[in-house]
Chains A and B, each alone.
Chain A
Amino acid sequence: DIQMTQSPSTLSASVGDRVTITCRASQDISSWLAWYQQKPGKAPNLLIYKASSLESGVPSRFSGSGSGTEFTLTISSLQPDDFASYYCQQYNSPLVTFGPGTKVDIK
Chain B
Amino acid sequence: DAKTTQPTSMDCAEGRAANLPCNHSTISGNEYVYWYRQIHSQGPQYIIHGLKNNETNEMASLIITEDRKSSTLILPHATLRDTAVYYCIVNRSGGTSYGKLTFGQGTILTVHP
- Report whether chain A binds chain B: no
A residues adjacent to B (C-beta < 8 A):
none
B residues adjacent to A (C-beta < 8 A):
none
